[in-house]
Chains A and B, each alone.
Chain A
Amino acid sequence: MSSVAVIDYGMGNLHSIVKALQHAAPDVDVVCVSDADAILRADRVVFPGVGAIRDCMQALNQSGLSAVIQQVAESKPLLGICLGMQALLTDSEENGGTPCLDVFAGHVLHFPEALTGDDDNVLKIPHMGWNQVHQLHPHPLWENIPQDSRFYFVHSYYAQPDDAAVMAATTQYPEAFTCALAQDNVFAVQFHPEKSQAVGLQLLKNFLHWDGRVL
């Protein structure tokens, strides 16, 4: 039986992601863990997160998990979700500038205030709800997910990688921003697959059967 470790570093509840992983692949052992050994032993690792980046990075640095995640990013399939994606960039402008894990070179920026959408209404922040995910290249994690499927988002900051080659998908709000990143064995999404019904479960299922190789 293969295993997946969901990193528990005290930021928010992990109930939804654990249940969704179990639902997506009943043949996989899902564990919620906070110690380095258990994370490094698992076949795959999910790095979730909600809340503020400063608290997130503080928790990761104090527990020593920052180095563990960087090690995982070098060695086995890793899926970053929401704040877990943002934390993989070099830094974030949230909380007055916060250094992050630098797995992907780039920055995390706030959506500009007072933007207007197609209908001339002010765009609300957070970007909350179901928006379309435009896949840029084929990838094992997009398997059986139709192009431009809607996933559930809730965030006020977004990732801007330095290298366009790591962009895996974009979403319009109102301009295109990077909503998924992919590089070797690492995949990261701004949306919440665990809250995105059938397409979200499919993405989790794809991850749980992914060997970490790209096409």
Chain B
Amino acid sequence: MSLAKRIIPCLDVDNGRVVKGVKFVDIRDAGDPVEIARRYDREGADEITFLDITATHDNRDTIVHVVEQVASEVFIPLTVGGGIRTLDDIRRMLNAGADKVGINSAAVFNPDFVREAAERFGSQCIVVAIDAKKVSQPGEESRWEIFTHGGRKPTGIDAIAWAKKMVAYGAGEILLTSMDRDGTREGFDLPLTRAISEAVTVPVIASGGVGNLDHLADGVIEGKADAVLAASIFHFAEYTIEQAKRHMAARGIEVRL
């Protein structure tokens, strides 16, 4: 009897629609985030994360409406990330029914924003999203740095030091994405995940690279992650959340079934 490891499906939302192609056989509108969230909830998702990738500022209200609708009928924790830059952005998401917000580049540009957000709203709702890339050469001791702008811009900041700093500033959880693995379907960067998870006291969500169910289990067993996040393996209906949980359970991981 102990705390279950969490499986968190992630939906990329652009102008209120789920992108990256979602394919469910029995869903009427495969791009409707509310319908997809309902489906994940039924399958046993432990939480749901929405990543708002809407580029234009004018259309950013659409994610608020999505969260409102989902929060009215799906009673599991909801996280919203993407474009969270001000305390007011956070307030709007929480008022819409989100339980947590993911702060990414705004934390890099102004670390005190994380401190202010945690003081105002509580650490329990502040997830700091870290995009990290390996910068050490083969043969050297592994080293990862923080990148912004979808992994394009290096910052020179060491990932482990950054994760520790963000926890000291009040982050209640770390969402760690390997920019080397994101989209590759080769599995998480396990040494990175483990290094960060062992360096901080708060839960770490592993993200980036999941291509099969063993990758999820590896993230927990070898990466020491407290939760695993994936998008495409669930979107394309390759696997249901329940299959993923049963697979993890078969590998000895405690899950909520």
Q: Is B51 an interface residue (CB 8 A)?
A: no
Q: Would you give the shortest CB distance from A129 to chain B, in whole angstroms?
A: 5
Cross-chain contact A50 with B124 (CB below 8 angstroms): yes
For A131, list chain B residues within 8 Å (CB). Answer: 2-4
Q: Please tell me which one of the listed residues A50, A113, A130, A155 contacts residue B3 in the complex, with CB atoms under 8 A apart.
A: A130
Chain B 13-57 interface mask (CB, 8 Å, partner A; 1/0):
000000000000000000000000000010000100000000000
Cross-chain contact A19 with B97 (CB below 8 angstroms): yes
Cross-chain contact B122 with A50 (CB below 8 angstroms): yes
Q: Please tell me which one of the listed residues B73, B75, B227 contacts residue A200 in the complex, with CB atoms under 8 A apart.
A: B75
Expressed in whole angstroms, the Cα–Cα distance for A173 and B2 within the complex equals 7
Q: Is B106 an interface residue (CB 8 A)?
A: no
Interface pairs (25), CB distance under 8 Å: A12-B122, A15-B71, A15-B94, A15-B95, A50-B125, A51-B124, A118-B2, A122-B201, A124-B226, A126-B202, A128-B124, A128-B173, A128-B202, A129-B5, A129-B226, A130-B4, A130-B46, A131-B3, A132-B2, A134-B1, A154-B77, A154-B124, A172-B2, A174-B2, A194-B75
Interface size class of A (residues with CB under 8 A): 35 or more
For B226, list chain A residues within 8 Å (CB). Answer: 124, 128-129
Cross-chain contact A125 with B201 (CB below 8 angstroms): yes
Chain A, 63-116, CB within 8 A of any chain B CB:
113
Cross-chain contact B202 with A125 (CB below 8 angstroms): yes
Judged by DSSP, the binding face of B is: loop
Interface size class of B (residues with CB under 8 A): 35 or more
Q: Is B99 an interface residue (CB 8 A)?
A: yes
Q: Is A197 an interface residue (CB 8 A)?
A: yes
Q: Please tell me which one of the listed residues A13, A121, A155, A197 contacts residue B94 in the complex, with CB atoms under 8 A apart.
A: A13
Q: Is B115 an interface residue (CB 8 A)?
A: no
Chain B, 63-97, CB within 8 A of any chain A CB:
68, 71-73, 75-77, 94-97
Q: Is A190 an interface residue (CB 8 A)?
A: no
Q: Is B148 an interface residue (CB 8 A)?
A: no
Cross-chain contact A195 with B2 (CB below 8 angstroms): no
For A153, list chain B residues within 8 Å (CB). Answer: 3
Q: Is B62 an interface residue (CB 8 A)?
A: no
B4: nearest residue on chain A (CB-CB)? A130
Judged by DSSP, the binding face of A is: mixed
Chain B 103-127 interface mask (CB, 8 Å, partner A; 1/0):
0000000000000000001111100
Q: Is A196 an interface residue (CB 8 A)?
A: yes
For B172, list chain A residues within 8 Å (CB). Answer: 126, 128, 154
For B198, list chain A residues within 8 Å (CB). Answer: 122
Expressed in whole angstroms, the Cα–Cα distance for A173 and B203 within the complex equals 14
Q: Would you give the shortest CB distance from B142 to chain A, in whole angstroms?
A: 20
Q: Would you give the shortest CB distance from A25 to chain B, in whole angstroms?
A: 14
Expressed in whole angstroms, the Cα–Cα distance for A129 and B202 within the complex equals 12
For B121, list chain A residues within 8 Å (CB). Answer: 12, 51
A24: nearest residue on chain B (CB-CB)? B75
Cross-chain contact A23 with B6 (CB below 8 angstroms): no
Cross-chain contact A129 with B75 (CB below 8 angstroms): no
For A152, list chain B residues within 8 Å (CB). Answer: 76-77
For A154, list chain B residues within 8 Å (CB). Answer: 77, 124, 172
Q: Please tell me which one of the listed residues B46, B73, B76 contacts residue A23 in the complex, with CB atoms under 8 A apart.
A: B73
For A23, list chain B residues within 8 Å (CB). Answer: 72-73, 75
Q: Is A150 an interface residue (CB 8 A)?
A: yes
Cross-chain contact B202 with A201 (CB below 8 angstroms): no
Q: Is A117 an interface residue (CB 8 A)?
A: yes
Expressed in whole angstroms, the Cα–Cα distance for A152 and B224 within the complex equals 20
Contacts A19-B72, A50-B125; A129 near B227 (Cβ below 8 A): yes
Q: Would you give the shortest CB distance from B122 to chain A, in whole angstroms?
A: 4
Q: What are the nearest 10 A-B pairs in CB distance?
A: A51-B122, A15-B97, A130-B256, A13-B94, A130-B4, A124-B203, A150-B256, A154-B124, A131-B3, A172-B1
Contacts A19-B72, A194-B75, A201-B75; A126 near B97 (Cβ below 8 A): no
For A201, list chain B residues within 8 Å (CB). Answer: 75
